[in-house]
Amino acid sequence: MAKTLSFLDKSFWITESDENPKHVACLQLLAIPKGAKSTEYVPQLFQEIRSYARATSPFNCAVKTVLGYPVGFAPVKKLNMDYHVQIHRVADVTNREALDAFVARLHASRLDPDKPLWQYHFIFDDNSE
């Protein structure tokens, strides 16, 4: 990963606000492996992913600033996996309108600028495959 920020990245950083967050999200709908129960499989996968507290660039880097101006990336000493990897149980993941609204609520919050700028959210229900 580049140690410096591009002009576009700097402009996103400088212009971001609570009213105008600049991060992006991706929603992936995945099937549970055959024979597995979502109520067991997803929480186990979540615990396994969250157990990996070491990351490589860019996932271990936070934006370095001087007087609030972004100048590059710096590795963090430790990742807070409780912050970076989260799990959510919803009523019905097949209800796309409700799922989209839930994801929109998650996406409305700004990422912590003092941490590496990523999060991974597991979203599941008790019935889906």
Is the predicted pLDDT of residue 1 greater than 70, yes or no?
no
Q: How far is it, in rounded angstroms, from Cα 80 to Cα 88?
A: 18
Average pLDDT rounded to a whole number, residues 65-70: 91
Both structure tokens of 39:
């109520």
Long-range contacts (CB closer than 8 Å, 24 or more residues apart) made by 101-105: 103/25, 103/27
Q: Per-residue confidence at 68, pLDDT binned at 50, 70, 90?
A: confident
Helix (H, G, I), strand (E, B) or coil at 51: coil
β-bridge mates for residue 72, sequence order: 64
- Residue 102 CA to residue 88 CA, distance in Å, equals 10
Exposure of 9 in the CB half-sphere (CA atoms within 13 A): 14
Amino acid letter at 7? F
Average pLDDT value for residue range 87-114: 94
pLDDT value of position 2: 52
Does residue 129 carry a pLDDT above 90?
no
State which H helix or E strand residue 48 sits in: helix 38-50
* pLDDT attached to residue 109: 87
pLDDT of 90: 96
Task: Please state the rounded mean pLDDT for residues 115-129.
Answer: 91
Q: Would you give the DSSP letter of residue 112? A: P
At residue 42 the predicted structure's pLDDT band, cuts being 50, 70 and 90, is very high
Q: Residue 107 and residue 91: Cα distance in Å, rounded?
A: 19
